[in-house]
Amino acid sequence: MIILNCPMKRDYITELLETYDKDGVTFKKIDEKGMKLTFETNIEDEEKAAKIAKETIKATEIGSVLYFQVSVG
């Protein structure tokens, strides 16, 4: 499970990660409380999943200016 803290664009990030499907890696949102989004992933290495999520968000047109944190939970 990965935890993403982001005060803005939560719907955008949710759609971005839930539609991500490269190399068999997928994400599914399981909870949202305030600015905290919780996703489950299908890979065992949650650190790798967190890195993929962060890189995916940063690669978007708003990713470089969007404040967010990704951690393993």
Within 8 A by CB and 6+ apart from 1, the residues are 30, 38, 39, 40, 41, 46, 72, 73
pLDDT for position 65: 96
Q: Where are the alpha helices (DSSP H) in the chain?
A: 10-18, 46-58
pLDDT for position 13: 97
| pLDDT tens-place values along the chain, 73 residues long | 999 999 999 999 999 999 999 999 999 999 999 999 999 999 999 999 999 999 999 999 999 999 999 999 8
pLDDT for position 22: 94
Whether residue 34 contacts residue 72, with contact meaning beta carbons closer than 8 Å, is answered with no
Range of the domain at 10: 2-72
Whether residue 36 contacts residue 49, with contact meaning beta carbons closer than 8 Å, is answered with no
- Counting the structural domains of the chain, the total is 1
| Encoded amino acid at 10, one letter | R
What's the CATH number where 29 sits? 3.30.70
